[in-house]
């Protein structure tokens, strides 16, 4: 770490590991291009392609705002940590301070369980369909490379995300073109639209760009160049939006709504033929792995901070954090009683409130007790109108998912 960086930030339990700008962008891309994108066409099948587009646009706009809130919070913090650490720094006072931090700790780790479980379930189902093995064995085979990269840490995640995201982008663009040229592709399918069913798909839509927990990883990785952080966030979410627009286009143009599967590449590949079936499902595996790497790495950071470990590389703390991160998902997958889509909806509905709403209040406290002068401030995006809209949107999605279905 350079002398300039040391003057700006203080080393905490979570270490600084320098990332290039491209690696930082790809961590955001890889954290999002996974289970939710693979399940969005299924969730939005009743509203059609235009419904999927509107869901993607709305959720991406709100997501960008909440990401930028966390960037400003991090840049006001001397020792940047994960969400739990930020809550402890800025909300750990008053009569109920300990209770708030404990609650956020439980919710943050609890949110990771359906998210990571969805990645492992989706990956396991794809491997099982390719190798003709039980789903639990497919999940175990998926976990092997997933856990290996997460254990090595942030720098390995950034490098792996970069290669994987480039491969995913190439495969997606190629097979979108292949789908559009397929004899069964019909442009008329893309014009079907029903507004009412969009509400049911919003939790999945929220999950498609729910990478707020990865922002601290990006800030630490670009701490040597803080002015590039916002650009990396916008590029990452912009590329993710491109995936969200192209991927459903290929699916909805090629298949009728009742033919779309929960892990959509399974039905997509079967329509295109055996060779393409293998390739698109390998794409899906990469997408799920990149999401697993980014999300599990962020969860491990939160667990380290919950434990108040002196360093994330303290072997006992790292083993404990690693176990808390992966063991619940592994157990749930082996039980085999949960649905892939249910895990996505639960993570999106609850995660939106935790990861997008809580930063509204944390930023207010961070501005009142700033530890350093930030290189970036959100400006008008923190106006009362925007904050109220953000709050109503995410709380509304949670309420609908909980009570209206």
pLDDT higher than threshold 60 for residue 345? yes
Name which residue leads in pLDDT, 34 or 129. 129
Q: Which of 57-61, 101-105, 274-278 comes out lowest in average pLDDT?
A: 101-105
Q: Per-residue pLDDT averaged across 20-47, rounded? A: 80
Q: Check residue 343 and give its pLDDT.
A: 63
pLDDT higher than threshold 90 for residue 279? no
Q: To the nearest whole number, what is the mean pLDDT of the chain?
A: 77
pLDDT higher than threshold 80 for residue 167? no
Which DSSP letter does residue 133 get? -
Range 120-153 burial, b when 16+ CB lie within 10 A, else e: bbbbbbbbbbbeeeebeebbbbbbeebbebbeeb
Q: Check residue 7 and give its pLDDT.
A: 42
Domains of the chain (ranges; CATH) run: 29-403 (1.20.1740.10)
Q: Which three-class secondary structure state does DSSP give residue 162?
A: helix
289-337 pLDDT per residue, tens: 777 776 777 777 667 666 666 666 667 767 777 777 777 777 777 776 6
Q: Check residue 52 and give its pLDDT.
A: 93
Q: Per-residue pLDDT averaged across 112-124, rounded? A: 77
> Measured at the alpha carbon of residue 184, what is the angle toward residues 182 and 189, in degrees to the nearest 5?
115
Which of the listed ranges 41-45, 53-57, 208-212, 335-339 does the model predict with the highest average pLDDT?
53-57
Q: Check residue 98 and give its pLDDT.
A: 62
For the record, the structure tokens of 142 come out as 């998926």
Give the separation between CA 196 and CA 287, rounded to whole angstroms: 29
pLDDT higher than threshold 90 for residue 63? yes
Q: Are 300 and 321 in contact (CB under 8 A)?
A: yes
Name which residue leads in pLDDT, 245 or 247. 245
CA within 13 Å, CB half, 141: 18
Q: Per-residue pLDDT averaged across 215-225, rounded? A: 84
- pLDDT category, 5, cuts 50, 70, 90? very low
pLDDT higher than threshold 70 for residue 13? no
- pLDDT category, 1, cuts 50, 70, 90? very low
């Amino acid at each position: 770490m350079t002398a300039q960086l040391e003057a700006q930030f203080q080393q905490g339990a979570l270490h600084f590991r320098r990332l290039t700008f491209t690696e930082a962008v790809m961590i955001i891309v890889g954290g999002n291009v996974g289970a939710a994108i693979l399940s969005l066409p299924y969730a939005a099948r009743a509203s059609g392609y235009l419904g999927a587009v509107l869901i993607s646009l709305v959720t991406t706009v709100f997501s960008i705002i909440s990401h930028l809130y966390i960037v400003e919070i991090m840049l006001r913090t001397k020792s940047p940590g994960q969400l739990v650490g930020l809550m402890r720094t800025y909300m750990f006072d008053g009569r109920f301070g300990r209770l708030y931090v404990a609650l956020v700790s439980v919710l943050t780790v609890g949110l990771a369980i359906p998210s990571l479980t969805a990645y492992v379930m989706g990956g396991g189902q794809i491997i099982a369909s390719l190798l003709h093995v039980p789903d639990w064995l497919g999940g175990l085979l998926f976990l092997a490379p997933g856990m290996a990269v997460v254990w090595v840490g942030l720098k390995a995640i950034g490098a792996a995300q970069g290669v994987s995201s480039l491969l995913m982008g190439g495969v997606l663009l190629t097979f979108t073109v292949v789908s559009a040229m397929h004899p069964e592709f019909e442009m008329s399918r893309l014009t079907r639209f029903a507004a009412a069913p969009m509400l049911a798909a919003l939790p999945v839509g929220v999950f498609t760009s729910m990478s707020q927990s990865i922002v601290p990883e990006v800030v630490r990785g670009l701490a040597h160049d803080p002015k590039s952080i916002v650009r990396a966030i916008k590029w990452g979410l912009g590329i993710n939006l491109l995936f969200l627009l192209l991927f459903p286009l290929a699916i909805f143009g090629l298949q009728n709504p009742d033919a779309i599967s929960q892990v959509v590449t399974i039905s997509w590949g079967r329509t295109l033929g055996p060779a393409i079936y293998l390739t698109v499902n390998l794409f899906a595996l990469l997408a799920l792995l990149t999401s697993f790497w980014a999300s599990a790495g962020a969860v491990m950071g939160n667990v380290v901070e919950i434990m108040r470990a002196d360093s994330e590389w303290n072997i006992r703390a790292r083993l404990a954090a690693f176990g808390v991160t992966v063991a619940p998902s592994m157990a749930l997958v082996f039980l085999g009683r949960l649905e892939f889509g249910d895990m996505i909806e639960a993570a999106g509905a609850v995660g939106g409130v935790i990861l997008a709403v809580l930063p509204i209040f944390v930023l207010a406290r961070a501005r009142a007790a700033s530890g350093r002068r930030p290189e970036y401030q959100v400006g008008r995006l923190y106006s009362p109108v925007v904050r109220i809209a953000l709050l109503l949107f995410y709380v509304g999605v949670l309420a609908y998912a909980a009570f209206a279905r």
